[in-house]
Structure 1
Amino acid sequence: MPESSPVAGERATAKVVLISVVAAIGGFLFGFDTSVINGAVDAVTQQFGLSEALSGFAVSCALLGAAAGAWFAGGLADRRGRKAVMVAGAVMFAIGAIGSAFAFAVWDLVLWRVVGGVGVGLASVIAPTYIAEVAPARIRGRLASLQQLAITIGIFAALLSDAVIADSGGGAANETWFGWEAWRWMFLVGVVPAVVWGLLALGVPESPRFLVARGQLDKASDVLGQVLGVTDREALQRKVSQIQTSLHREDRPSLRDLRGPRFGLHPVVWVGILLSFFQQGVGINVIFYYSTSLWQSVGFDESQAFTTSVITSVTNVAVTLIAIATVDRIGRKPLLIAGSTGMFAALTVMAVAFSQASGSGEDLTLPGAWGPVAVVAANVYVVCFGATWGPVVWVLLGEMFPNRIRAAALAVAAAAQWLANFAISTSFPSLAEVGLQFAYGLYAVLALLSLVFVLRTVPETKGMELEDMGADTPART
């Protein structure tokens, strides 16, 4: 297949930036949901009398819903459109937030956390898919990175709101406004961004590649003209024809399209799955799920631990801006290599620091300078992840798959990511019982393996048109 080229005269319009921002708000829900439990977990554990295992499940159960939502998002997006899936994700998240706030028992809470997780899973697939399909190639990395920026802002917002609400009641387990425990308000706040996203999603145009797939060529041409700032109808028609060629098939898209010669899947799908696995396998969400409890274990009181968690989340937001500025200049692969190297070093330092700890559980303490060393290493780790693996994996997942399988392949990769997230976050309390040095040592090994994986298998996609992705991957007929 000959290489496609950008539409003559295309540019980054305010329209494409704004609709990419709207799509990226789905990432805000993603970040908010994964971190709001941070401030509530100890209060929930206390109120419902949970064991360590059940407490870990209450934290991570939303990830099972997210995996299910991600798995079905691709098929829904191909049948109903990208906009419809955004709205559905917002509705599911809002229902989950309200239900969690009114939970009367742990299994009730688990149910609503799973429902909200389904919404998050839908958002995690549809936001990068939509952004990749509307963005011009030369700035696609920067616009796709907005997803991770929104995730980090969502994490920050969750931790900040947790801290403010907990402070209002003198603790997450105490009563605050209207006689409700503070932790219930922590969940209820999530309704606000869900409603905002759902309403804004109704106003964005449908993806031009979905419109082409549905045979709505004139509408697709109009949307391309709006987002690319191009008025030349012939140039737009040529672009539509290129998209048609890349989508050409005789049957409806399905997960069967992902079949290939290597262990049942196309190689590019395996690359996406393993990118997702390593992004979670290095343990990043342990920092955001358990950071408040973690810092209390090294000597901080509850207020100081909340403050430290908020500072960590601000750091995560700031370094994501670095990725946005560099991903289309440096490229995807060099950033991943740098990130794996830095995370391996930081996690190794954390493992060594916690090997000096005495006591266990809530009585664990780090002697002398080892406490500050652990805090610094954790934030260096967040910097290395936030500037590289955090945003770059979502950029790659949104753009690396061929047009005809993009939504389905991204759904499988995202589902794998949520399952890996579930495994890592659920296993952390048990690993911590063995020893935090063991947990962080394991994550360090996985960071090292991620470096080998990137060097050997990850392609560079900087500047490529979506129609050129996987041009050698045959269509199913």
Structure 2
Amino acid sequence: MHKQGLQYVYKCTYVAAVGGLLFGYDTAVVAGAIGFIQQKYGLSPAMMGWVASCALVGCVIGAMFAGSLSDRIGRKKVLMISAFAFAISSLGIMLPMGLNSFIIFRLIGGVGIGIASMLSPLYISEIAPANIRGRLISIYQMGIVLGILLIYFVNAWIAGMHDESWNVDSGWRWMFGSGLLPSLLFIILLLNVPESPRWLAQQNRLDEAEDVLTKVNGEEKAKEELQSIRATMQADAQQAGFGSLLQPGLRYVLLIGIFLAILSQVTGINAIMYYAPEIFKSSGDGSSSAMMQTVLVGVINTLFTIVAIRYVDKWGRKTLLLIGAAGMTICLALVGAAFHFGFNQGPMILVAILAYIAFFAISLGPLTFVVVAEIFPTNVRGRAMSVAIFFLWVAVFAVSQTFPMLQSSVGPAITFWIYGVMSVIAFFFVWRLVPETKEKSLEEIEQFWKTKGL
């Protein structure tokens, strides 16, 4: 691949990855704010769960409609809608209104997160060359973890500006409002990237599609790729609605995408990402110490996502997923044991949680999006990804909503062991059912499913 093409495809990838940065920033901002919101409004465990996770209802809505809308008006335009949703949400929460107003603006932000979570990796998958596609889609996950890390620092900085009473009264609003800057950056950057070449081809805008592919692959390879895309699309000539996803062949692929998306979340990652300061406080640390340990979670998440980016196209998706699921199982067992046997005052919980984050960051974190963005046929990719990511957000909502209630009812030990059992299930699911897709073009992956005759 020529140097200019590589620079061009990386530029497009980095812009799409800003959608991931906003996803991470906007979902994790609640980790630093939830304790202050609880004090301000006197929230019960159930209400605390709802306030922490209400944005996820918006995520479900955004993910569900993003695919069909992007099939109609284009990937780029719908990503722009998500950027505006982020900006409106950040601005709205800064206004000193009540809890209901906060929830409405969080829902709007959630719609933006849901759209970006589905469309950013889809956009990257449709513009990326096969030999580096895993790495490029993983850069989207790097955007997510950098967004999480950035907001952990911003939260710690804002929380340290004044005293506790200021944080409870209005500091947490500034935490949410800080998201306005990256939202505006995303809007500006989106103006400078092309539409997805596969979407352009689907709309019969073949000259524009070839132009984008030429910038990525050079003229000769672009003509070959466009021919391959057109041949595949002619074979799938029927413009499929959601109902066609239930056809025998597609149904099997869709179920793999759905279950992988669910398992990536019910293994407990967002319980830790959203409630990390509260978990560390429950293990005996003070508020400021818990905040800094949370920053450490973000640092480890970032470093090991770099490992995934480096090795995903070399070792393959399946190998990394299996290593990650096995490691997560062991770490969750140790966290549960530390709480159960009363070792939670020492460093064991912090070390086990950081190791869990590391295993997640090389596997289910980035690679769920890689696999889900790769395995579906072009003519239904938007809608099929919508369905898979819809279930991912339903699972995130379920985990975020139930974590405080599980903590207060069955205790932290059993809560983390439940997530450990889910990690075991994830391991066997990947081992038995998830195919290896490294170095295959999207059209080759589609042919693979057809040859399986499923």
Shorter chain as normaliser: what TM range? over 0.9
Deviation (angstroms), 1:260: 2.4
Residues 66 and 205 from structure 1, CA distance in 2 versus in 1: closer, same or farther, beyond 3 angstroms? same
What fraction of aligned residue pairs are identical, expressed as a percent? Answer: 38
Q: Which residue does the alignment assign to 2:120?
A: 127
- Please report the TM-score for the alignment, with normalisation by the length of structure 1: 0.91
Structure 2: distance between partners of 1:331 and 1:299: 40
Calculate the aligned-residue CA RMSD, in Å: 1.7
1:111 paired to 2:111: no
Q: Which residue does the alignment assign to 1:222?
A: 211
- Please point out which of 69, 87, 105 is paired with 2:80: 87
1:63/1:418 contact within 8 Å kept: yes
Structure 1: distance between partners of 2:5 and 2:80: 26
Deviation (angstroms), 1:251: 4.4
The structure with the greater share of residues assigned to helix is 2
1:269 paired to 2:254: yes
1:48/1:105 contact within 8 Å kept: no
1:231 paired to 2:219: yes
Residues 17-68 of structure 1, C-alpha deviation per residue, up to 9 Å, x if partnerless? Answer: 0110100111111111111001110111111222111111000111110011
Q: Which residue does the alignment assign to 2:173?
A: 184
Deviates more, 1:445-454 or 1:395-404: 395-404
Q: Which residue does the alignment assign to 2:356?
A: 381
Deviates more, 1:246-255 or 1:28-37: 246-255
- Please point out which of 197, 200, 206 is paired with 2:189: 200
Q: Which residue does the alignment assign to 2:329?
A: 344
1:145/1:395 contact within 8 Å kept: yes
Residues 378 and 455 from structure 1, CA distance in 2 versus in 1: closer, same or farther, beyond 3 angstroms? same
SS in 2 for 1:285: helix
Q: Which residue does the alignment assign to 1:293?
A: 278
Q: Which residue does the alignment assign to 1:5?
A: none
- Please point out which of 238, 241, 246 is paired with 1:254: 241
Residues 329-368 of structure 1, C-alpha deviation per residue, up to 9 Å, x if partnerless? Answer: 00000000000100000000011001124xxxxxxxx56x
Deviation (angstroms), 1:246: 1.6
1:321 paired to 2:306: yes
SS in 2 for 1:469: helix
- Please point out which of 290, 293, 297 is paired with 1:312: 297
SS in 2 for 1:463: coil
SS in 2 for 1:323: helix
User: Which runs of no fewer than 5 residues in structure 1 stay unpaired?
Assistant: 1-7, 358-365
Q: Which residue does the alignment assign to 2:154?
A: 161
SS in 2 for 1:471: helix
1:414 paired to 2:389: yes
1:96/1:115 contact within 8 Å kept: yes
Structure 1: distance between partners of 2:22 and 2:361: 17
Q: Which residue does the alignment assign to 2:421?
A: 445
2:66/2:78 contact within 8 Å kept: yes
Structure 1: distance between partners of 2:401 and 2:241: 31
Residues 426 and 461 from structure 1, CA distance in 2 versus in 1: closer, same or farther, beyond 3 angstroms? same
Deviation (angstroms), 1:13: 1.3
SS in 2 for 1:371: coil
Where does structure 1 differ by over 4 angstroms across 4 or more consecutive aligned residues?
8-12
- Please point out which of 417, 423, 446 is paired with 1:470: 446
Amino acid at match of 2:99: V
Structure 2: distance between partners of 1:378 and 1:35: 17
Residues 92-136 of structure 1, C-alpha deviation per residue, up to 9 Å, x if partnerless? Answer: 111111122225222221111111000000000110001001111
Residues 393-442 of structure 1, C-alpha deviation per residue, up to 9 Å, x if partnerless? Answer: 11111111111111111111111000000001110011101210010000
SS in 1 for 2:101: helix
